[in-house]
Chain A
Amino acid sequence: MNLLVELGVQGLINGAIYALIATGLAMVFGLLRILHIAHAGLFALGGYLGLVITNASGSFALGLAGAMLLVGVCGMAMYRLCYEPILDKPPYVALIASVGLFIAMEELFRLVFGAYGRSYRRVPLQGALEFAGMRIKYAELGVAVLTVGLLVGLALFTSRTRVGIAWRATVTDSRMAASFGVSIAGVRYLNFFIGSALAAAAGVMVGVLNNLVEPGMGGVPSYKALAIIVLGGLGNLNGTLVAALLLGLVEAYGSIYLSKVLDRDSIAFAALIAVLLVRPQGLFGLRS
C-alpha cells in the first residue's frame, strides 16, 4: 500500500515537471502552431543558468529567478530571430529549424559546460520530510509548490489582467484581437517569455533534484512534453496540465507493470498512440 502511495507521489512530482515544460510548449503551439522543439534547449539552459548563478552568488532564490528571467528573454530573442521570419512558410520549416536550433544548443552546452554535467556546490533544498511512513524530499516539495504557484499565477494572469485577457483573445482569434487594438507582436513576445521562463523553472528544479545538469537533459522530457500537449488537446492549457499529471502517474505505475514489454520513457508514446487511435483530438481537445 505504501509503495503505491509513494509511487503516486513520485508520479505527481514528475507530472509537475512535465506540466511546467508542456505548458510553455502548449502556449507556443496554441498561438503559432509551431512545434517548438528548441524549447528543450531553453529547459536545459535554465538548468545551467540556475546552477551557475547559484554557485556564483550562493543564493538559490537568485539562481531560480535569474534563470527564469534570462531564459525568458532568450525565448523572446529566439522568437524574433528564428521564428518570426519563417511564420509564413509551411509548418515543417519551423519544425526543422527548431530541431536544428535544439541540436546546436545541446552541442553548445556540451562545448561550453563540458560533456559530463555540472553539479551544485551546495545543493539547495536538502533533506526530506517524513510522514505517514513515507519520505518526501524538500526538493520534491519545492517542485510541487513552485509548479502550483506558477501555474495558478498564470491562470490568474490570463483571467484577471488586461494583458492576460489580450493574450487569450489573440490565441483564440488573432485578427479579431488585432482589430480591438491588441498588439499581436507584444502578445507573441509575452507568450515566449512566459513559456520559456516556465521551462527554465523546470530545468532548475530538475537540476536540483538530480544535482546534475547535463547537455542532453532537455531531450527526453521535451519529447514527452510534445506527447503531452497532443494528449491535452490543441493548445488547451488545462488539458495539458491534467495530461502532464496523468502521464507522471501512468509512468510511475506503468514502469513497474510494463517493464517486461516497454521501457519507461516509451510509456508516454504508447499512451499517446493509444489515445489518438480512439480520440484523434486528444483527451481534452475539441473535435474540429
Chain B
Amino acid sequence: MSAYEISLLTLVGIHVMLALSLNLITGFCGQISLGHAAFYGVGAYTAALLAKAGFWMWATLPASVVAAGAAGLLVGFCSLRVRDDFLAIATMGAGFLFIGIVRQNDALGGELGISRIPDPGLEAGGFLALVLLFTLLVIAFCVYLKRSWLGFAFDAVAADEAAAQTIGVSVADYKLSAFALGTALAGLAGGLYAYYLRSVGIEAFGFPVSILILAMVVIGGMGSIAGSVVAAVLLTLLPEWFHFISDYKLLVFGGLLFAIMRFAPGGLAGWAADLLAALKSRT
C-alpha cells in the first residue's frame, strides 16, 4: 500500500471511532449533541500537550480518554436539566466555548495550534494497525453495549424519558453515563488523531466538524452501528474520490445532508431495512 493509502485508511479508522462515539450519545441514548468535535479536540490537545512534555503514547492515550470523558461528564451535567432542543444548543455552545478558550490561551496552542508532536515510534503501517485495532475494539464495545443492560436503559431513556423514570430507570445517571462513555471514546479518537497528523489546531475541532460527525451518524441511521461505520467510511473517502468536484464539495455535502433528511431520514440503515422488508414481502 502506498503512503497515501495508509494515511487515508488511518483517518477512516479514526472517523469511524468518532462516529460510533457520537452514535452512543445521540443514537443509543437520544441526546442530541452539536458540540461533539470539542471532545475530539480535548482528547487531541491532551495527547498533544502531554506528548510534547515527553510522555509516551501509552500514557497520553489513556489521559486523552479520561480528559475527554471528564469534559463529557461536565457537559452531561448541563444536559440533565434541559431537554431536546435546548440540549442541542447547549452542546453547540460547549463546542464554541472550547474553541474560544483554546484560541485565547497560548499555553494551549492559541490560534496557531500545537505542532511537531513527537513520533509515536511506530511506522505508518504499524500505526495504521494500531488504529484499526482500536477501531475494531470500539465496534465490539458498541455491539456489546447495545445488547447489554446499559444499552437497554439507554434505549428507554431515548424513547421516553418520563416513562423510563417511572419504571425506575434513573434517567439522569444513564444520560451522564452515555455522555461520559461517548466523549471518552471521542477522546481516544482525538488522541490518535494528534499522533496521526502530528499537529493540532482549532480548525479541526469547530462547529463544522461537529456537524460532519453528526452527519455521519444521521446518514448512517441513528443508533445503527453498521450504519455509522459505513457512513463514516463513505464521508471520509468520498471527498478523496470526487476530488474533481473539490470546489463544489461543500455544496454537494450540504445538498446531500438536506436531501437525505428530506427523503430518507432513517439514513442508510433505514433504507437498508426498507429494502430488506420489501424483498421479504416479495418472497
Q: Chain A: residues with CB nearer than 8 A to chain B?
A: 29, 33, 35, 82, 85-86, 89-97, 99-108, 111, 219, 223, 226-227, 229-230, 259-263, 265-270, 272-273, 276-277, 280, 282
Contact = CB atoms under 8 A, between A and B. Distances in A.
B154 interface: no
Contacts of B96: 223, 265-266, 268-269
Contacts of A89: 265
Interface in B75-115: 77-78, 81-82, 84-86, 88-90, 92-94, 96-97, 99-101, 103-105
Contact of B265 (A93, A99, A105, A269): A93
Interface stretch (B144-152, B168-176, B182-190, B255-263): B255-263
Contact of B262 (A85, A92, A107): A85
A96 B262 contact: no
Contact of B251 (A92, A108, A219): A108
A251 B145 CA distance: 43
B78 A277 contact: yes
Contacts of B215: 96
Given A96-B257, A99-B257, A101-B254, A82 B100 contact: no
A35 B88 contact: yes
Nearest to A95: B88
Q: Is chain A's binding surface mostly helix, strand, loop or mixed?
A: helix
B253 interface: yes
A33 B88 CA distance: 12
Contact of A230 (B90, B253, B259): B90
A177 B258 CA distance: 31
Contacts, number: 135
Interface string B236-278: 0000000000011011011111111110010000000000000
A100 B251 CA distance: 9
Contact of A263 (B94, B100, B214): B100
Given A100-B253, A103-B211, 12 more contacts: A86-B262, A92-B32, A92-B218, A100-B255, A101-B254, A104-B258, A106-B250, A230-B89, A262-B97, A268-B93, A270-B97, A277-B81
A280 B81 contact: yes
B258 A226 contact: no
A272 B93 contact: yes
By CB atoms of chain A within 10 A, which of B85, B94, B248 has the most?
B85
B207 interface: yes
B107 to A, nearest CB: 11
B261 A96 contact: yes
Contact of B84 (A91, A265, A280): A91
Contacts of B214: 96
B261 A86 contact: yes
A90 B97 CA distance: 27
B100 to A, nearest CB: 3
Nearest to B250: A107
B11 to A, nearest CB: 21
